Structure 1
Amino acid sequence: MGSTFRARELVLGIEGLALLRSAVDADDGFVERRVAEIRKFAEGEGEGLPGTGAAVNELDAGAGYAIWSSVYDSLPNSFIEVEEPVVHGMLDAGPVGTALDAACGTGRQTVALTSRGHRTIGVDQSPDMLAHARRKAPDAEFREGRLEELPLPDASVDLALSTLALTHLPDPGPAIAELARVTRPGGRVIVSDLHPFVVTLQGQCHFVAGDEALAFVRNYAHQASDYFRAFSEAGLTVRACVEPVFNGRLASGGYEEFIAEAARAAWRDIPIVIVWEAVKPAEDKGSVEGAEA
């Protein structure tokens, strides 16, 4: 069922969050400006906000990314900007081998893997996303498939990577189990996701889906405990967890630019991404030899 984009209400929420977080420590001028802007928007002055009144539809991942794929790489994305340095640092710290980019999208991490010398397999459920990825990373191999049922045999990769994708699943457990399944003993699993803080506060990420229409693919908030449980159940050992915070950059042309001071105060120092590195324990040689005997 469709709905209407409530830009004014979103602005009021951000103003309120900025006031809530700053009421004790902010100067009087900051507080007064927040109250004045809240009053202004509450009284109905929101007609000039981008997207006001646009139809909004929820799409599943397949349909959503088919539309999103054409503009995905051209849109400013603060999540990617704070996530990539962390993920790439983890890639640089590990050995080169066969790598999986699961839910590879347009191939941004596939390029990072191939450029580091990995034999790389990209998997995504969206043929439209894969078309972009093939052009971007022609040396990689690509397969159509889902996170919950990866089209790879057991223990076939040295590194399994999935970035900013598991947020679209109600439960990250089945996808993490699949990443563990296809990883060889001694290999690594690296996962990034939208931080549950920002998903809980912000909700959904909208994108243009036609004339005067917006859409979103639902994000689910996965708590750190959800991930720890999923890694443990998949037989993985967590080696690192990093939580990059908002970098202060607002999306160009978005409604937050109309309330930039409030938006930056609202999101200041809030972690917006969470990045995990886990290892699949190497097989104990003595136990394997004993089992074979």
Structure 2
Amino acid sequence: MFKNQEAVGKHRDTEALLAVLDAADQMPNAGLLRARSYELLSLVPGSTVVDVGCGGGRAVAELAERGVRAVGVDPDPPMLAAARERWPAAEFWEAGAEDLPFTDASVRGYRADKVFHVLRQPERAVAEARRVLCPGGRIVLVGQDWDAIMVDSDDAALTRTIVHARADLLGTPRAGRQYRSLLLDGGFHDVTVEVHTSVFTDPAMLPLLDRLAEPVCTSGAVGRDQADEWLAEQRRRAEAGRLLIAMPFFVAAASA
């Protein structure tokens, strides 16, 4: 019974995360950001490109449309099941960023989008990327800086507390600003870094704010009443067309 309850809980968590990702992916700037990451990969037709932490698989399908063998890897079986259902013609494998199912120097492109912030030791993932990439292969890392999320609110102090406390619950919340050093330390060269700020005003992004506040409340960093009041204000803003969330996304690229 407990295993069934745990499975149901994981399924709901996956559905909730997919809902947030889908809402974000449908924003025009998100499509432009993905396209920019593909451009930085310098795709070679017929070569193998791995999308690490592929989630729902959208990038894998889009990369395959560009004429490469795109492989999505993710350590979460429910997420992979969703990706395979959505993109049945695409290729997905179960694996983590620190242990990829590829032989040495067998991959031409490596992409990881919104992945490194959950890793405790992102340098291990960089070393694994260096192992599987062939000489001259390209790596592209995309991710938000969780400590720099901006939310318009009447209570700026509480908003800062929620944002920073949520960041502190992640493995490497400031991974985006660390991409350049991680790649240089990992032996990559021709490292470039860009920052693209995404602005969200659609009520469909309200679940993102739930994912900010609820873990912070559970951790005890803010009280239940404070979290409820903050979320209620954000819902009122959404209803009035006054919701605003801004997130800086770092895009780093380099050659092996």
| Smaller-chain TM-score bracket | 0.5 to 0.7
- Taking only aligned residues, the RMSD between alpha carbons, in angstroms, comes to 3.1
Of residues 81, 84, 90 in structure 1, which corresponds to 2:37?
Answer: 90
- Structure number with greater Rg is 1
After superposition, the C-alpha distances for 1:207-246 in whole angstroms (9 at most, x for unaligned) are xxxxxxxxxx836322556322210122112443221113
- The aligned counterpart of 1:222 is 174
How is 1:194-205 mapped onto 2 (pairs within 5 angstroms)? 194-198=144-148, 201=160, 202-203=163-164
- Is residue 2:176 matched to residue 1:231? no
Looking at secondary structure, tell me which structure has more helix per residue: 2
CA distance in 2 between counterparts of 1:220 and 1:145 reads 20
Distance 1:197 1:142, change over 3 A: same
Of residues 5, 19, 22 in structure 2, which corresponds to 1:74?
Answer: 19
How is 1:1-12 mapped onto 2 (pairs within 5 angstroms)? none
How is 1:89-168 mapped onto 2 (pairs within 5 angstroms)? 89-92=36-39, 94-96=42-44, 97-168=47-118
* Identical residues among aligned pairs (%): 24
TM-score normalised by structure 2 residue count: 0.67
Distance 1:253 1:138, change over 3 A: closer
Q: What is the letter of the counterpart of residue 135 of structure 2?
A: P
Deviation of 1:251 (Å): 3.9
TM-score normalised by structure 1 residue count: 0.59
Any conservation in 2 of the 1:243–1:271 contact (CA below 8 Å)? no
Of residues 246, 249, 255 in structure 2, which corresponds to 1:273?
Answer: 249
Distance 1:203 1:133, change over 3 A: farther
Distance 1:126 1:275, change over 3 A: same
CA distance in 1 between counterparts of 2:147 and 2:33 reads 19
Note the residue ranges of structure 1 that are not aligned, 5 or more in a row: 1-61, 206-216, 281-293
Of residues 221, 233, 247 in structure 1, which corresponds to 2:199?
Answer: 247
CA distance in 2 between counterparts of 1:77 and 1:203 reads 23
- Pairs aligned (count): 204
